[in-house]
A and B are shown apart, each in its own frame.
Chain A
Amino acid sequence: MITGVKITILIAVVTSVLSLLFGTVIAVMRNSRIKPLRFIGKLYVEIFRNIPGLFWLLFFYFVFPEILPFDLGKKLNAYPYYPIVASIIGLTLDNTSYVSDILRSGLLAVPKGQREAAISTGLSRVQQYQYVMLPQTFRKILPPLGTRMIHNFKNTSLCMAITTPELMWATQQIESITFRGLEATTIATLFYILISLSLGAIIILLEKYYKIDIASITKMEA
């Protein structure tokens, strides 16, 4: 079961980091003045947000190896860690769509004058995002982003459907071997709550750390 906890945390951390990374890219694309980029970004969000995460997990575990050229798919199926890899891919793609939309809302909430100030000092487009827009965006979206990350963490339980040996899967295994479902499930519940609460606490700490900035951002808009 401890192994299950470890794998759950591993998947949650990796997917959160990756989806934050890709989410930023998608959000910036959707904020671009180049129409095709905006379209691709929107398309991505619509595809992955409107189809359940469980579907993508099943897709990458069962369907994806099939559509690869024959040998490659077979190798993937034989690869013992493939369930974990498929879990990470599926959850990342799913979570990215939400994260990117949260980021986009944060980007839209950065006053227009901020970008104009950055432009007028000669910063390049990338620098405008890197030093001016995105830092403010992240401070603004911390609360909804934290909620999303907790959600993503809980979604790791879906990975049991593709035999990923995470916490939920381990619980089920214990139950089917020992028939002590109540005990196993109770402990799993405690683990989930413990980790979720810690995540929430981290977010609150981050919010406090940036409190002075957040206060200033709010005040400047008023």
Chain B
Amino acid sequence: MIEFINVNKWFGPIHVLKNINLHISQGEVIVICGPSGGGKSTLIRTINRIEPIQEGEIIVDGFSLTNPKTDAAALRAEIGMVFQHFNLYPHKTALQNIMLAPMKVRGLSKKQAKERATRLLERVGLADKCDNYPVQLSGGEQQRVAIARSLAMQPRIMLFDEPTSALDPELINDVLDVMTSLTKEGITMVIITHEMGFAQRVADRVVFIDKGEILEIEKPSDIFVNPKHDRTAEFMSKILHIPLVPNNKKERINKAE
């Protein structure tokens, strides 16, 4: 579904993605983690070409992103993206936020789009907030509207760029619940998150990135318990608040949990 082949990217002199090779199959749920500034966001943003790459190739759904003939807009319509800061359109209501793209890109009638939007708002538990403007919604509600906005395009891939990092702890779970329900639908998902409990539950594989390099790709059961790499171990122990050494001791984690 998504294939990175020797991808390199620079921001000016800074080498932000180094020789990325990653194959993501259809329906897979991938969690990306790693320290800030490590290239997580950049990596995920190359998948819908919000960030162009300088070297290598990315193939999404059989289309090469580096090929100038690829219709980026059409491809993006198949790829939903959810941002850390929601990025809802502030001049539109929740319903209008969701209806815009299906009407303008997919050519749905207003009635069809409204129907679909209402259904999606129900699904994310916000049926009563149709006519609220983003400012009238809490962060968690805004993020759920944003997820509904992406889903309205019926994407086959969903990208989540730290969807819960800007939320109050209390509101995180509502968003995670919606995301968990998506994993059961066979949508390919790439998620940047530091919610490790969530990652453990839903991820098929966890990718650890630091300084623009993929250091480890493992099943969640392995990476949290037996990280191969020193850097991964260091990061995980900080984030899980438990001491962790590479290739070491399940008991310690079990105890901590």
Contacts and interface: CB of A to CB of B under 8 A. Distances in A.
Given A135-B91, A139-B91, A216-B91, A122 B73 contact: yes
A39 interface: no
B135 A122 contact: no
A135 to B, nearest CB: 5
B88 A120 contact: no
B77 interface: yes
A127 interface: yes
A213 B105 contact: no
Contacts of A136: 89-91
Interface in B146-182: 146, 149-150, 153, 159
B102 to A, nearest CB: 9
B50 A122 contact: no
A220 B77 contact: no
A139 B135 CA distance: 15
A114 B87 contact: yes
Contacts of B149: 117, 121
Nearest to A219: B135
B91 A217 contact: yes
Given A120-B50, A124-B73, A135-B91, 4 more contacts: A120-B76, A123-B105, A215-B135, A216-B135
Interface string B85-118: 1011111000000001100110000000000000
A81 interface: no
B80 interface: yes
Contacts of A117: 81, 83, 87-89, 146, 149
Chain B, interface SS category: mixed
B39 interface: no
Interface string B44-73: 000010100000000000000000000001
B91 A121 contact: no
Given A113-B87, A116-B83, A213-B91, A121 B133 contact: no
Contacts of A114: 87, 89
B79 A216 contact: no
A150 interface: no
A8 B243 CA distance: 79
A129 to B, nearest CB: 12
Contacts of B79: 120
A123 B150 CA distance: 12
Looking at B87, B88, B136, the one whose CB has the most chain A CB atoms below 10 A away is B87
B87 A119 contact: no
A111 B73 contact: no
Given A119-B50, A135-B91, A212 B73 contact: no
A64 interface: no
Contacts of B88: 117, 220
Contacts of A191: none
